[in-house]
Amino acid sequence: MGEIIPRWEWRHFAKEIKLDIDLSKYEKTRHVESTEMYIPSTVVDENPKFRDNKMDVKSLQRVDRDGLEQWKPVIKVEFPLPVSEMEKVLKSTDFQCLLLNLILFLLKNFLQKQKTIQDLYLLK
């Protein structure tokens, strides 16, 4: 994975952002918009996500007084995950939450793809 440099990030999981702090006091190093799926947990400080056919796991290092979070990447691997990497992911995350969300993710993708396969039927 190369040199690991913890990053300061704002994370917001909502449709609308309302902040009581002045973001202009923070230097903007880059702005990234992407589509990804996070699997947050209230049990552990590791945060897995899926993006661009990869699984990333970041570990929360600290939070400043304004709520800015510093995250350190600990796992970054492409799918399909090798068994050794999957073991690391399972050890560092909230396994039950990860497993449930992974099943939902796979089911959602399966249901989207089944519309394009003529001989596949979904029974309820």
Q: Does 80 sit behind a cis peptide bond, omega within 30 degrees of 0 on the bond before it?
A: yes
d(CA 16, CA 47): 22
**pTM for the complete prediction?**
0.58
Give me the pLDDT at residue 117, please: 53
Q: If pLDDT is split at 50, 70 and 90, which confidence band does 124 have?
A: very low
Tell me, yes or no, whether 72 lies in a domain: yes
Tell me, yes or no, whether 1 lies in a domain: no
Tell me, yes or no, whether 83 lies in a domain: yes
DSSP-based three-state secondary structure for 83:
helix
Tell me, yes or no, whether 103 lies in a domain: yes
**How many domains, in total, are found in the chain?**
1
Tell me, yes or no, whether 121 lies in a domain: no
- Give me the domain span that covers residue 44: 7-114
